[in-house]
Structure 1
Amino acid sequence: MKKRYIMAPGPTEIPAEVLAEGGKPILHHRTPQFRKILTQVEEDLKYLMQTKETVQVLTSSGTGAMETAVANTVNPKDKVIVASIGHFGNRWASIAKIYGAEVIKIEAEWGNAMDPAEVKKALEENKDAVAVFTTHNETSTGVYNDIEAIGKIVKEYDAILVVDGISGIGALPFYTDKWNVDMAVAGSQKGMMIPPGIATITVSPKAWKVVENNKQPKFYFDLKKYEKSMTEEKLGNTPYTPAASLVMQLGAALNIIKEETIEKVWERHEKLAEATRAGVKALGLTLFAKENASNVLTSVYVPEGVDGGALMKKIRDDYGISMAGGQGPVTGKIFRIGHLGYTDRFDPVIGIAAS
């Protein structure tokens, strides 16, 4: 027998209480029993995402929530700014282009964070931009952006700030309202500690004005339908069939987070990251992130002469540990150790030992 571990930056390991919830009989999504659960989940998501605004629950991957954000805010030929520091920042640009936007892309070298001054410069040069899209935690590099600083800049312009918080929310400090984030998206298989299949999105009053004026054709990802279901119909209602079992599991996971408190969750991730990076350095390996190293994952250079893909396969096959390789221009050059979600202080030891 070989025990298997997930030490990738998502999907993550799942607590026993959450697994047990997924094994319960499914509830019909139009019953008072289920609506009560979903209503509580939506309230608890406000705590997780640190917002007073409604949090919409989507049955999709995190990328579905990213597309929702674009589809509800960007009209064809609208100008948008994408501040990218890696693979998932580039995804914002790809989605926006599909919806007909004129994309002004500013980039930081992979392994670096975005300089907020570059965002301000782009806004000054493009004052007609309707939105700034960026990433909280760039999963492809293990670097996080200073969203607080970027938020202070964007709020002075007409543009809204839209943030991919998929891998960071629930692991890194994130204050949707205090940091002036107009739309934040998150995914269930990261810091939320449940299987993939649910995404969440917040919408500020400033962003709702943009949504109300949006003319982009859409059906499933129409935020106005989700808002109508929750306000004009019944609390805990959705316009389409939700992933009912995942919603129940999310409720259990959010209870765990509330019991630990979000501040303690953030502190735990910080300690896990420090321990992992100390172990990596002790092995004589080199860290990839040059600045703003993330508490979600640790990115490490593959030693010279070693095949990165073969290394990941060997760790998985010999030790039962799933880590992640590099993406895009760093494919085969780095590997990534996840330490987010349901991870305790002994887990990094296992990952380092396998490395």
Structure 2
Amino acid sequence: MLLLIPGPVQTRPETRAAMAQDIAPWDNDFRPVYAGIRDRVRALAGGREGEHATLPLQGGGHFVMEAALRTFIPEGGKVLVPQNGAYADRAVRLASAAHRQVVALPIPDTRSASAEEVGAALAADPAISHVAMIHNETGSGIVNDVEGIGAAVRAAGRRLILDSVSAFGALPFSLADHPEVDAMLFTSGKCLEGMPGMGFAVARVDRLEAAAGQAGSWCLDLSDIHAHALRAGWGSIRFTPAVQVIAAFAVALDLYAQEGGQPARLARYRENARVLYEGVKSLGLTPYLDWADQGPVIVTVHQPADPDFALQPFVDALKRRGVLISNFWNTHAPSFRVGCIGAVTPDDMRMAVAAIGGALDELGIRDRAASAEVREIEGDPGTQSATKRA
């Protein structure tokens, strides 16, 4: 089965094989593996030793995002969220549930937030201390302008929390160039092609020390993870982790380096996205984004206007052809999404395009373009799926 979702992703056999062992996470033989991962991902993030620290946390991206919001923003503090996709919506919910004040900046899910918009919002409200931004929205595939927005946040004297969960390892970004970033967040099971189960924050040490005790949570306190490492060593972890996931992640990092690191991985993903984007257009389908705005992680496609189209039967027909995609959509207009990341190649994308065409033929879908009505309402949050946003 060809797994084409934006995480968990298809992995290499060597990565999966590393899971097939029993490990004691606090064993002295395993500590160097864990400590080595922390050093390696700090370097990948452009972090500096002594200035930045890698803080692993069990769970998915939402766990580490909530931890960052709690750790760096005091209860009652204000955070600006550029809101142009489902994962920004979730950041709003996470911050609100943690009793942080949210200033939402609504933006259509077909384009990036701009530095000018963020700068204007910060200027309008001096009480905002932080911006929490999604690097790559895996609902639509849009990539936000982290360089420009980071510069705007820095110029305004504010702080940035960057959710790079579906971008880290593929899209370039260096913490050394962005002192305004309190933490950059990612997970094991996305562009680094590990197994799912661990989140990571690469955070500024000075900000962690200043934030001690304000998370309102023990489990979700990044400053406490840092303090534990200082006490017990960088090869130690506070609570029982997904230890086999960590072992597999070490192998995934080896494979990442062998491929050529971030530039090589981005090049492969971009070519995957190009083949898929052009392929679905050749089938008469309408990509959700213009090519100029299309990121390399996922290609999202408008659901066909044909009244006989329904997402689950389409997903089932694709699965019969050996391709598995998400059976939900989380864009403003109805869509389906096909991942371009993971241990997959442009040839796999060509196979996926053929499978998409075969599935549409099987279901008798002739009118494959997006409806005129969908195009008119695109960007209206009221049109999103009422049954599933994930």
- What is the distance in 2 between the residues matched to 1:198 and 1:295? 23
Equivalent residue number for residue 105 of structure 2: 106
- What is the distance in 1 between the residues matched to 2:130 and 2:313? 41
Equivalent residue number for residue 322 of structure 1: 324
Cα deviations by residue, 1:52-83 (Å, 9 ceiling, x for unpaired): 22111111111100111111122232111011
Equivalent residue number for residue 86 of structure 1: 85
TM-score by length of 1: 0.93
- What is the distance in 1 between the residues matched to 2:137 and 2:206? 25
CA RMSD after TM alignment: 1.7
Equivalent residue number for residue 259 of structure 1: 258
Q: Is the 8 A contact 2:136 2:167 kept in 1?
A: yes
Equivalent residue number for residue 293 of structure 2: 292
TM-score by length of 2: 0.85
**What is the aligned length?**
348
Gapped regions of structure 2 (runs ≥ 5): 357-390
Equivalent residue number for residue 12 of structure 2: 15
1:43 and 2:31 equivalent?
A: no
SS in structure 2 opposite 1:46? helix
Which residues of 2 match residues 72-221 of structure 1 at below 5 A?
72-180=71-179, 181-205=181-205, 207-208=207-208, 210-212=210-212, 215-221=214-220
Cα deviations by residue, 1:148-202 (Å, 9 ceiling, x for unpaired): 1111111123421011111111222232332443211111221121222101001
Cα deviations by residue, 1:194-244 (Å, 9 ceiling, x for unpaired): 2221010011256336523x5341111222221122222222111112221
SS in structure 2 opposite 1:183? strand
* Deviation for aligned residue 1:128: 1.8
Aligned partner letter, 2:86: H
Q: Is the 8 A contact 2:11 2:195 kept in 1?
A: yes
Ranges of 4+ aligned residues in structure 1 off by more than 4 Å: none
Equivalent residue number for residue 374 of structure 2: none
Which residues of 2 match residues 296-315 of structure 1 at below 5 A?
296-305=297-306, 306-315=309-318
Cα deviations by residue, 1:90-123 (Å, 9 ceiling, x for unpaired): 1111011111122110021122211221100111
1:339 and 2:340 equivalent?
A: yes
* Deviation for aligned residue 1:144: 0.6
Aligned partner letter, 1:273: A
Identify which range, 140-149 or 190-199, moves more after superposition. Answer: 190-199
Q: Is the 8 A contact 2:192 2:252 kept in 1?
A: yes
Q: Is the 8 A contact 1:170 1:341 kept in 2?
A: no
Aligned partner letter, 2:5: A
Q: Is the 8 A contact 2:85 2:331 kept in 1?
A: no
Q: Is the 8 A contact 1:97 1:103 kept in 2?
A: yes
- What is the distance in 1 between the residues matched to 2:298 and 2:279? 13
Q: Is the 8 A contact 2:79 2:101 kept in 1?
A: yes
- What is the distance in 1 between the residues matched to 2:182 and 2:250? 25
Relative to structure 1, the CA distance from residue 209 to residue 227 in structure 2 (aligned partners, 3 Å threshold; closer, same or farther) is closer
Equivalent residue number for residue 365 of structure 2: none
Relative to structure 1, the CA distance from residue 341 to residue 51 in structure 2 (aligned partners, 3 Å threshold; closer, same or farther) is farther
SS in structure 2 opposite 1:149? helix
Gapped regions of structure 1 (runs ≥ 5): none
* Deviation for aligned residue 1:85: 1.1
Aligned partner letter, 2:312: G
Q: Choose from 19, 22, 27 the match for 1:26.
A: 22
